[in-house]
């Protein structure tokens, strides 16, 4: 008897070809596409073409029909708002830069979607992420994808071992070029040429500032300061800026300046030089470690502080009261640039994700 899989389909090439590959491998497939957000202004409606938009939902449904598989549209708008959008707004209001994809994966794709899989009597869920699953010392781990340029394990670090037991990643052993070639070989030319979205799904034009204003965040001007606390200009609301930002400061200096610190409480933003953004230590909260033997035997790890940054050699030390605080300290062997509160730091060993946390 074939295994039944609930395939998360976004309408894009990765999830569509994932569905095709699973069918060719003999799985019984059920397609699912979810609605996560409604744009609230006409100015936003005009740009509603991103992931989870009405357009992409019907593209996914049409592709599922072409494969001859059952397809469902799932309404996750309220829970998406509760977990993802609310956190997104609160983090910016606290002067931090959130990582909504990490929360969406843990609470929506591997929360609500797993619940839906039970409803549709499916044994597994599958997504179009570039990631692999591996066993090591009786534990199940995320493993980096063969295509290191597309590897998406950074966004999946919060997935539990139980989540992974019920997950299939069809694209883990493929490169992006191979996936496009498969689409062409099956005469899905339009799909093969489809461009990738690099944006947050509920902010298609990547204009999070406008989004925050539409959600009721009030712009309140404050001070730009230098490293010594001297006022050097005015900013347009601290949540309009992120660590490492150089463009769009709205003020000219004799040399390039970067956002190096955001003080939400005082509504102040510190500007400095490029070199000021290098550091060798960070503190992480909400830390998860799959198996502490990894760091008890040797605290040396590779740590990644953002999706497109390379994993960097570091030492991982848990807080003395870790069971209560869930804090850890990461000391890098070489300085890293642009450590940003609110983003994830993910820990790797031997190509496996052994844990992660949120940069504090």
- H/E stretch holding 184: helix 176-185
| pLDDT at residue 1 in the model | 53
Burial class of residue 221 in the structure, from the number of CB atoms within 10 Å of its CB (0-12 exposed, 13-18 middle, 19+ buried): exposed
Residue 215: name the closest of 318, 335, 85, 82 by CA: 85
Q: How far is residue 123's CA from residue 3's CA, in Å, rounded to a whole number?
A: 6
Residues 182, 244 within the same domain:
no
- Which pLDDT belongs to residue 44? 42
Per DSSP, the residues of 204-257 read: TT--HHHHHHHTTPPP--EEEE-TTS-EEEEES-GGG--TT--TT-S---SS--
Give the count of domains, the chain: 3
Asked whether residue 111 is domain-assigned, the answer is: yes
Structure pTM? Answer: 0.92
Q: What is the pLDDT of residue 42?
A: 37
Segments in the chain below pLDDT 70: 1, 39-52, 197-198, 204
Examine the domain organization and report whether 130 and 252 are in the same domain.
Answer: no
Which CATH number do you get for residue 268? 2.30.30
**How do residues 244-272 score in pLDDT, each as one tens digit?**
999 989 888 889 999 999 999 999 999 99
Residue 280 phi, psi dihedral angles, 5° rounding: -115, 5
Clarify whether residues 25 and 135 are in a common domain: yes
Residue 45 confidence (pLDDT): 39
**Euclidean distance between CA atoms 112 and 34, whole angstroms:** 10
Q: Which residues contact 229 (CB under 8 A, 6 or more apart)?
A: none
Q: What is the pLDDT of residue 316?
A: 98
* Strand 258-263 versus strand 268-272 pairing type: antiparallel
Q: Whats the size of the chain, residue-wise?
A: 360
In this predicted structure, what is the pLDDT of residue 195?
Answer: 74
Predicted confidence at residue 187, as pLDDT, reads: 93
287 inside domain: yes
The pLDDT score that the predictor gives to residue 219 is: 76
Q: What is the pLDDT of residue 50?
A: 52
Does one domain contain both 351 and 247?
no
The answer to whether residues 171 and 285 belong to one domain is no
Tell me: do 293 and 241 sit in the same domain: no
Q: Is residue 205 part of a domain?
A: no
Phi, psi of 335 (to 5 degrees): -60, 140
Angle at 103 between CA 290 and CA 267, to 5 degrees: 115
The residue from 192, 211, 242 where one domain ends is 192
Which of 176, 192, 208 terminates a domain? The answer is: 192
Tell me, yes or no, whether 157 and 181 share the same domain.
Answer: yes
Place of tokens 């070489």: 334
pLDDT at 47: 42
> Does one domain contain both 119 and 85?
yes
C-alpha 331, offset from chain centre? 23
Check whether residue 188 and residue 315 sit in a common domain.
no
Task: Show which of 272, 299, 334 is a domain's final residue.
Answer: 272
Residue 337: CATH number of its domain: 2.40.30.10
pLDDT of residue 281: 98
Do 260 and 283 belong together in one domain?
no
pLDDT at position 218 is 83
* pLDDT score for 202: 86
Of 101, 201, 217, 279, which is the active-site residue? 201
Handedness of CA 23, 141, 85, 303 (dihedral sign): negative
- Among 104, 122, 217, 279, the active-site one is 104
> Do 9 and 115 belong to one domain?
yes
For 199, which DSSP code? S
**CA–CA gap between residue 302 and residue 346 (Å, rounded):** 8
Residue 214 domain flag: no
The pLDDT value recorded for residue 207 is: 86
Domain of 135, CATH number, reads 3.40.50.620
Range of the domain at 230: 222-272
- 44: annotated active-site residue: no
Q: Where are the beta strands (DSSP E) in the chain?
A: 4-8, 28-35, 70-75, 124-126, 132-136, 139-143, 167-168, 222-225, 231-235, 258-263, 268-272, 278-289, 300-304, 312-318, 328-337, 344-349, 352-359
* Whether 201 is catalytic: yes
Query: Is the domain of 172 the same as that of 228?
Result: no
């Amino acid at each position: 008897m074939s295994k039944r899989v609930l395939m998360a389909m976004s309408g894009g090439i990765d999830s569509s070809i994932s569905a095709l590959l699973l069918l060719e491998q003999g799985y019984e497939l059920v397609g699912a596409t979810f609605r996560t957000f409604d744009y609230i202004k006409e100015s936003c409606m005009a740009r509603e073409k991103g992931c989870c938009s009405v357009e992409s939902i019907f593209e996914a449904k049409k592709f599922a029909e072409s494969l001859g598989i059952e397809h469902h549209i799932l309404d996750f708008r309220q829970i998406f708002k509760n977990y993802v959008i609310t956190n997104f707004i609160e983090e910016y209001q606290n002067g931090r830069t959130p990582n909504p994809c990490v929360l969406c994966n843990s609470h929506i794709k591997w929360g609500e979607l797993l619940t839906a899989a039970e409803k549709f009597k499916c044994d597994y869920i599958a997504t179009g992420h570039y990631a692999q699953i591996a066993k090591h010392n009786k534990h199940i781990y995320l493993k980096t994808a063969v295509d290191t340029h597309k590897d998406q394990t950074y966004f999946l670090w919060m997935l539990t071992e139980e989540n992974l037991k019920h997950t299939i990643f069809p694209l883990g052993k493929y490169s992006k070029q191979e996936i496009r070639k498969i689409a062409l070989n099956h005469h899905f030319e339009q799909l093969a040429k489809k461009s990738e979205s690099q944006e947050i799904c509920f902010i298609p034009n990547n204009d999070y500032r406008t989004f925050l204003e539409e959600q009721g965040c009030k712009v309140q001007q404050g001070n730009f300061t230098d490293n010594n606390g001297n006022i050097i200009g005015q900013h347009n609301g601290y949540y309009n800026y992120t660590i490492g930002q150089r463009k769009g400061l709205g003020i000219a200096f004799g040399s390039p300046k970067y956002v190096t610190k955001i003080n939400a409480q005082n509504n102040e933003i510190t500007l400095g030089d490029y070199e000021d953004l290098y550091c060798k230590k960070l503190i992480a909260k909400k830390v998860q470690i799959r198996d502490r033997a990894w760091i008890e035997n040797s605290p040396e790890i590779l740590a990644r502080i953002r999706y497109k940054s390379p994993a960097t050699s570091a030492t991982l030390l848990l807080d003395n009261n870790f069971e209560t605080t869930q804090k850890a300290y990461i000391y890098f062997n070489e300085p890293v640039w642009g450590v940003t509160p609110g983003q994830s730091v993910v820990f790797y060993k031997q190509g496996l994700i052994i844990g992660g946390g949120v940069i504090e």
